[in-house]
Structures are given as structure tokens and as C-alpha cells.
Amino acid sequence: MDYELSTVAFALGLTLFAGLSTAIGGAIAVGRRAPGPKFLAASLGLSAGVMLYVSFMEILPEAANHFGEVYDSEMRSMGAAVTAFFGGVAVIAIIDRLVPEEINPHEPSTTDEEARRRRLMKAGVFTAAALAVHNFPEGFATFVSGLEDLSIAIPIAVAIAIHNIPEGIAVAVPLREALGSRKKAFWWATLSGLAEPLGAVIGFLILMPLLGPMTMGVALAGVAGIMVFISLDELLPTAEEFGEHHSAIYGMIGGMAVMAFSLVLFM
């Protein structure tokens, strides 16, 4: 199907707007000059809450919907989604085990502070990668809706932009502490959001005829598994290390609440 250049440009602009809102989250995360342990624990908890909620309430059900286009029963669709979910968990767990000892935060020769920084670095990079993969089909969906119906595309883009803000925080908080650089943490958060316009462009030029429900189902469910593992293995344990248990839990619940409201808007 042929589209006017102005329509394509506007749809791409919507996708860019939605994706770059991770930069707002990154700016919030790096804005404080000297964050204390309560702020860090709450921010890491918020990051975990965002990732847990979006994984179970948005990504995994969406994966099951894609499998529903392949299989003729709800049980088989959900079974495939759950299998791919734990496949994602297995992949990230294996990667975690294969991290060389010289950068492994559990290496005995490192100090507590060095171990924490390395754990935060790994958590931040994995979070950025997982969210980038998650944002890729999100950007494609926003772009396609912008080509077809602006009355649907604009609310979708606004809702995605809102829930990308805490995703930017999720990336920037651990990387700020690991790298000791607010600027680098901000740009990592921004780059994770650029996966959305990248997904739009690649999807439009190459992948639209190749992406099927099976591929999307496996990818989405696998990403959900990766994000859950990162939350439980890296973000929450690191938040607890700051000695502010309640701040970490309140932050996690707050992250879930932010995602819940953004998904209500999306619906």
C-alpha cells in the first residue's frame, strides 16, 4: 500500500515523540546532584515495579494474543507464551552465569562498593537492552497506527510516551551510580527509547511482510521473562543493599501504579 510522504513523516514523528520520552525519565533520574540511599532504593524499586508490571500485565498477554492467531485453543496459546517466557528467563540466566569473573559483582576480591557498581552496571545495560527490544515492536505498532488512523494513533503515542518515562528512569538510575556520570546515564536512557523509531523504520522497510504472529509472540514473551529476571535478580536486591527496605518497596509499588495508569490510558 502506498502512503503520502506527509503521512509517513507524521507517523514517524509520533513514534519519535513516544520513544524519546525515555529521555524525560533519564533527566528525572540524573537531576538530583547527590541522591541519598532512600532516593536510590526507591528509584531502583520503581524500576523493578515498572518492569514487573509491564511484563505480566502487558507484554505476556500480548504475546498470548499473537500465539492465539497461530493456535486454535486458549490453552495452547497461553502454553506457548509461558514456554517462551521461561525461555527468556533461561537465556538471561545463562548470560548472567557466563559473565567473566573480572566483571562479576560476586567476585570475592572486590570491595562491597566495587561489587555494587558492577552489579548496577550490569543491571542498567540489561535493562536498556530489554526495554529496547520491548520498544521495538511498540514503535512499529505506533507507526502503523499513525499510517492508518490518527484518531487512534495520537492517544496511543501519548500513552506510550507516559509509560516510557519510568522506563527511562529504570535505565538511568543504575547506570548513573555505576558510571558516576549523569550525562552518560541520560544518553543511555535516551538511546533505549530510540528503539521505537528504529522499529518503525525497519518494520516499514523490511519486516512488515516477514513479521508473523509466531515470531512476535516468542519475542514478546521472551522479553517479558528477561525483564522479570532482571527485576528480581538485580534491581530489587541492589535496592535492598542501600538499607532502605520500605523505600524500595514503596518505589516498586509506585512504579506499578504509574504503569497501571499509563496502560489504562493506552486502552
List pLDDT tens digits, range 186-235.
988 888 888 888 878 887 777 667 667 888 788 778 878 887 887 888 77
Q: How far apart are CA 31 and CA 33, in angstroms?
A: 6
* Residue 177 marked as a ligand binder: no
Radius of gyration of the chain (CA): 19
* Residue 106 marked as a ligand binder: no
Residue 108: predicted pLDDT: 45
What is the mean pLDDT for each group of 10 consecutive residues in the chain (267 residues)? 72 86 84 74 83 84 90 91 94 74 46 71 76 72 69 67 75 81 86 83 73 80 84 83 90 88 69
Residue 221: predicted pLDDT: 87
Q: How far apart are CA 216 and CA 81, in angstroms?
A: 10
Residue 141: predicted pLDDT: 67
**Residue in 191, 46, 197, 200 with CA at minimum distance from that of residue 125:** 191
Residues whose CB is less than 8 angstroms from the CB of residue 245 and which lie 6 or more positions away in sequence, other chains included:
41
* Residue 101 marked as a ligand binder: no
**How big is the CA angle at 100 (ends 94 and 106), to the nearest 5 degrees?**
85
Residue with cell 493506552: 266
Q: How far apart are CA 83 and CA 78, in angstroms?
A: 8
Task: Determine contact, residues 208/152, Cβ cutoff 8 Å.
Answer: no
DSSP string, 149-165: -HHHHHHHHHHHHHHHH
* Residue 164 marked as a ligand binder: yes
Residue 78: predicted pLDDT: 93
Whole-structure pTM value = 0.65
Task: Determine contact, residues 124/40, Cβ cutoff 8 Å.
Answer: no
Residue 34: predicted pLDDT: 60
Q: What is the mean pLDDT of the chain?
A: 79
Residue 201: predicted pLDDT: 83
Q: How far apart are CA 48 and CA 234, in angstroms?
A: 9
Distance of CA 258 to CAs 35, 60, 98, 129, 253, Å?
Answer: 21, 18, 34, 21, 9
**Residue in 35, 27, 42 with CA at minimum distance from that of residue 255:** 42
Q: Is the dihedral of CA 163, 33, 236, 228 positive or negative?
A: positive
* Residue 135 marked as a ligand binder: yes
* Residue 102 marked as a ligand binder: no
Helix, strand, coil: what percent of the chain each, to 5?
Answer: 85, 0, 15
Residues whose CB is less than 8 angstroms from the CB of residue 70 and which lie 6 or more positions away in sequence, other chains included:
77, 80, 213, 214, 217
Distance of CA 25 to CAs 31, 173, 188, 208, Å?
Answer: 10, 9, 11, 30
Residue 81: predicted pLDDT: 94
